[in-house]
């Protein structure tokens, strides 16, 4: 895994300083390519081909195409076999497939063929065009800047902050306001007005001659329900996941596994155990028994005879880590499960440089409890007097930060909310009436849509649970879950791979009728049936807990005087100065 930075009309000293901010993403090698018009820098975490041959940026023999890649291309061997008939490869690195794949097939053809997690740049000197691309699910990040005749890009916001200087960048107040709804800043926004997140499954083209930017979606999830019997679906899913796990275990450095004791990570570990006898697993537990899943992780580890490692995260250590969320994310991001994710990453890095995780399983197979809460609330909802909405809104404001406020919020959630507003609430977001003080503080227009990002992906033509999965796949998964895993793992130079998130698995799961994906309404029912033999007895029947800190127990420490943890984070880490 790596970090990339580039800029047009470069100031070399500042460009090199910006690249240095990404050293944690790539501590093993650094490289750069530049001419008077463009600088491209790369920090490398060596995973495949540890030699100098894998150094980036990479160029072809004529230096007509220059690439810098962050990520892994899992099907690189098959693609390389085809490309070797025409091109002379110089390394065993998967990234070189991007170089010659672009030359052979162009950007659209390359992106149709590669399977992996990636964010990369391709500079075509003959066309005087620069391309930036991000994988279909948004596993790997990429930011870009365009203003005042300068175009720049980087793996993390901190690199662009370093190059331009925070004083020269203007904070986007609507982004801060959005954060209170989503617990992250939704794309294409970032903390700053002229810096944008490249969205998943998109590529940007910057024409250096015309100084124009265009944005292209190269893949879209379009659920098309197919007829299939349950037995065939189970076998097909099993084959896809087993194949993905095996492909993602390929590495020239040690590989381990995050193991929470839940269905997703347990399935990944079980699949790995079918092809390897030497597996290292890593778990974080909590002192609070109701939140501690480590005993279940130990049962999975015993079943598959893994070398298992466990550490405990307590409130004191969590509070010590809390200020580092600004360092990891550079902008507001309020998922407190970042704390145990960082700790387990730090723990695993003592022995391995790559881990496989179970992330994506809930969105792809239908496992989140909020799907079924949403269904139950929606089924019982019917028109209520407008005065009830007014009373709950006033009650929340009168008792802000106190127990009665939570009671009014619960009444509101169960009786009044629908659609994207209900979804935002179930994921911990603040509603519009709870943000009035911030609306004034950030000068937000009265007609501003608090839920614009969710509306982009809320498809009422889909069955209800599929609709919510589709929504989360495009919003919560890339912007919360995958962002959290990327930043906290890369903070310790650890590559985290996500075997559930492949194009084939995503498209297959979303092509299934809900009756197949969720037999008898069972969350992740198909996944459980497909891998029942690889799970210890009772694991599949466990109620989902989620990998998060015990907020109910640690409430005072993580909420402070505020009603929501995102309020405290925003005020304490981003508005305090």
pLDDT digits (tens, 9 = 90+) for 12-37: 999 999 999 999 999 999 999 999 99
Instruction: For residue 88, count other CB atoms closer than 10 A to its CB.
Output: 9
Segment 362-371 shows an average pLDDT of 96
Confidence of residue 118 (pLDDT cuts 50, 70, 90): very high
pLDDT tens profile 136-173 = 999 999 999 999 999 999 999 999 999 999 888 999 99
Host H or E run for residue 33 = strand 29-35
Cα–Cα dist 155/6, whole Å = 10
Three-state secondary-structure class, residue 76? helix
pLDDT reading at 444 higher than 70: yes
Residue 388 is predicted with a pLDDT of 55
Residue 62 is predicted with a pLDDT of 93
Return the domain boundaries, the chain. 2-217, 230-367+469-550, 369-463
pLDDT tens profile 211-257 = 999 999 999 999 999 999 999 999 999 999 999 999 999 988 899 99
Sheet holding 280-286, edge to edge: 307-313, 280-286, 255-258, 354-356, 495-497
pLDDT reading at 407 higher than 70: no
Three-state secondary-structure class, residue 472? helix
Structural tokens at position 37: 């018009």
Q: Average pLDDT over the chain, rounded to whole?
A: 92
Listed in sequence order, the residues at least 6 apart from 208 whose beta carbon sits closer than 8 Å to its beta carbon are 8, 37, 38, 128, 129, 130, 151
Residue 549 is predicted with a pLDDT of 73
Structural tokens at position 91: 């390394």
pLDDT reading at 395 higher than 60: no
Residue 410 is predicted with a pLDDT of 58
pLDDT tens profile 261-317 = 899 999 999 999 999 988 999 999 988 877 888 999 999 999 999 999 999 888 888
Cα–Cα dist 28/493, whole Å = 10
Judged on CB neighbours under 10 Å (0-12, 13-18, 19+), 296 is buried
Q: Which residue has the higher pLDDT, 328 or 413?
A: 328
Which CATH number applies to 2-217: 3.60.20.10, 3.30.530.20, 3.90.1010.10, 2.60.120.580? 3.60.20.10
Structural tokens at position 485: 């895993």
Listed residue (15, 544, 551) closest to 334, CA to CA: 551
Listed in sequence order, the residues at least 6 apart from 150 whose beta carbon sits closer than 8 Å to its beta carbon are 7, 8, 9
pLDDT tens profile 551-570 = 777 877 788 888 889 999 99
User: Are residues 82 and 109 in contact, defined by beta-carbon separation less than 8 angstroms?
Assistant: no
Residue 434 is predicted with a pLDDT of 87
Instruction: For residue 306, count other CB atoms closer than 10 A to its CB.
Output: 24
User: Are residues 7 and 150 in contact, defined by beta-carbon separation less than 8 angstroms?
Assistant: yes
Structural tokens at position 379: 């089924």
Residue 520 is predicted with a pLDDT of 94
Give, rounded to a whole angstrom, the gap between the first and last alpha carbons of the chain.
34
In this structure, of 78-92, 310-324, 505-519, the range with the lowest mean pLDDT score is 310-324
Segment 368-394 shows an average pLDDT of 73
Residue 525 is predicted with a pLDDT of 96
Residue 291 is predicted with a pLDDT of 80
Listed in sequence order, the residues at least 6 apart from 71 whose beta carbon sits closer than 8 Å to its beta carbon are 1, 2, 116, 117, 118, 119, 120, 135, 139, 140
Residue 398 is predicted with a pLDDT of 52
Q: Which residue has the higher pLDDT, 54 or 566?
A: 566
pTM assigned to the model: 0.93
Torsions phi, psi for 497 (to 5 deg): -110, 150
Residue 545 is predicted with a pLDDT of 62
CA 149 to chain centre: 31
Cα–Cα dist 357/473, whole Å = 17
- Paired residues of 195 in beta bridges: 145
Helix ranges restricted to H, 289-402: 294-304, 315-321, 324-329, 338-349, 361-365, 369-380, 386-398
Q: Is 271 an active-site residue?
A: no
User: What's the length of the chain?
Assistant: 577
Instruction: For residue 338, count other CB atoms closer than 10 A to its CB.
Output: 25
User: Are residues 18 and 32 in contact, defined by beta-carbon separation less than 8 angstroms?
Assistant: no
pLDDT reading at 393 higher than 80: no
pLDDT tens profile 177-195 = 999 999 999 999 999 999 9
DSSP 300: H
User: Are residues 536 and 376 in contact, defined by beta-carbon separation less than 8 angstroms?
Assistant: no
pLDDT reading at 399 higher than 80: no
Residue 552 is predicted with a pLDDT of 75
Cα–Cα dist 319/336, whole Å = 11
pLDDT tens profile 304-359 = 999 999 998 888 888 899 999 999 999 999 999 999 999 999 999 999 999 999 99
User: Are residues 380 and 393 in contact, defined by beta-carbon separation less than 8 angstroms?
Assistant: no
Query: 230-367+469-550 is classed in which CATH architecture?
Result: 3-Layer(aba) Sandwich (3.40)
pLDDT above 90 coverage of the chain, percent: 79
Residue 333 is predicted with a pLDDT of 98
Question: Residue 137, by phi and psi: left (phi above 0), alpha (psi -120 to 50) or beta?
Answer: alpha
Residue 317 is predicted with a pLDDT of 87
Cα–Cα dist 502/506, whole Å = 6
Judged on CB neighbours under 10 Å (0-12, 13-18, 19+), 462 is middle
Cα–Cα dist 232/509, whole Å = 13
pLDDT above 70 coverage of the chain, percent: 92
Segment 365-376 shows an average pLDDT of 95
Torsions phi, psi for 355 (to 5 deg): -130, 150
User: Are residues 342 and 309 in contact, defined by beta-carbon separation less than 8 angstroms?
Assistant: no
Confidence of residue 383 (pLDDT cuts 50, 70, 90): low
DSSP 549: -
Q: What is the dihedral of CA 339, 343, 345, 351, to 10 degrees?
A: 180
Torsions phi, psi for 444 (to 5 deg): -85, 130
In the structure, how many helices (H) and strands (E) does the chain have?
A: 26, 17
Listed residue (369, 383, 374) closest to 546, CA to CA: 369
Listed in sequence order, the residues at least 6 apart from 566 whose beta carbon sits closer than 8 Å to its beta carbon are 179, 180, 183, 332, 334, 428, 430
């Amino acid at each position: 895994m790596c970090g990339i930075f580039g800029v047009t009309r470069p100031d070399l000293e500042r460009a090199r300083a910006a690249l240095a901010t990404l050293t944690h993403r790539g501590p093993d090698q650094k490289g750069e390519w530049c001419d008077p018009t463009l600088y491209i820098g790369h920090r490398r975490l060596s995973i495949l081909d540890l030699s100098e041959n894998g150094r980036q940026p990479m160029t072809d023999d004529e230096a007509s195409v220059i690439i810098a890649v962050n990520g892994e291309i899992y099907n690189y061997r098959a693609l390389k076999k085809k490309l070797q008939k025409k091109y002379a490869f110089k390394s065993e690195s998967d990234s070189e497939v991007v170089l010659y794949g672009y030359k052979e097939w162009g950007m659209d053809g390359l992106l149709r063929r590669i399977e992996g997690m990636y964010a990369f740049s391709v500079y075509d000197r003959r066309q005087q065009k620069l391309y930036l691309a991000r994988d279909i699910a948004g596993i790997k990040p990429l930011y870009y800047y365009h203003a005042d005749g300068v175009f720049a890009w980087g793996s993390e916001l901190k690199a662009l902050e370093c190059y331009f200087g925070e004083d020269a960048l203007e904070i986007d107040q609507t982004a801060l306001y959005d954060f209170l709804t989503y617990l992250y800043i939704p794309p294409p926004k970032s903390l700053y007005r002229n810096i944008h997140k490249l969205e998943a499954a998109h590529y940007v083209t910057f024409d250096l001659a015309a100084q124009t930017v265009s944005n292209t979606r190269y893949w879209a999830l379009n659920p098309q329900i197919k007829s299939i019997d349950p037995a065939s679906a189970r076998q097909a899913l099993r084959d896809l996941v087993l194949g993905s796990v095996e492909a993602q275990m390929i590495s020239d450095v040690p590989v381990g596994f995050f193991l929470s004791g839940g269905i997703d990570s347990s399935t990944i570990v079980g699949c790995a155990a079918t092809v390897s006898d030497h597996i290292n697993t890593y778990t974080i537990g909590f002192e609070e028994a109701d939140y501690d899943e480590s005993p279940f992780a130990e049962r999975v580890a015993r079943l598959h005879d893994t070398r298992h490692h466990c550490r405990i995260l307590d409130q004191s250590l969590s509070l010590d880590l809390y200020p580092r969320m600004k360092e990891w994310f550079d902008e507001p991001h309020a998922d407190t499960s970042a704390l145990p994710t960082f700790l387990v990453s730090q723990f695993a890095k003592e022995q391995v440089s790559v881990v496989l995780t179970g992330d994506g399983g809930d969105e792809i197979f239908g496992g989140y409890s909020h799907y079924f809460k949403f269904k139950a609330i929606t089924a019982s909802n019917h028109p209520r007097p407008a005065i009830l909405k007014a009373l709950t809104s006033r009650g929340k404001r009168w008792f802000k930060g106190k127990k009665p406020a939570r009671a009014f919020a619960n009444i509101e959630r169960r009786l009044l909310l629908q659609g994207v507003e209900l979804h935002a609430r179930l994921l911990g977001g603040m509603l519009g009436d709870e943000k009035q003080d911030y609306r004034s503080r950030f000068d937000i227009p009265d007609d501003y849509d608090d839920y614009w990002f969710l509306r982009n992906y809320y498809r009422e033509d889909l069955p209800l649970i599929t609709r919510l999965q589709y929504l989360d796949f495009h919003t919560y998964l890339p912007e919360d879950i995958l962002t959290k895993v990327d930043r906290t793992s890369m903070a310790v130079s650890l590559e985290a791979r996500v075997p559930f998130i492949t194009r084939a698995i995503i498209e297959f799961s979303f092509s299934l009728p809900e009756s197949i994906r969720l037999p008898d309404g069972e969350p992740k029912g198909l996944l459980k049936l497909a891998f029942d033999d690889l799970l210890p007895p009772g694991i599949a029947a466990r109620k989902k807990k989620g990998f998060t800190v015990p907020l109910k127990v640690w409430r005072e420490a993580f909420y402070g005087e505020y009603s929501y943890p995102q309020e405290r984070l925003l005020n304490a880490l981003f508005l305090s100065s």
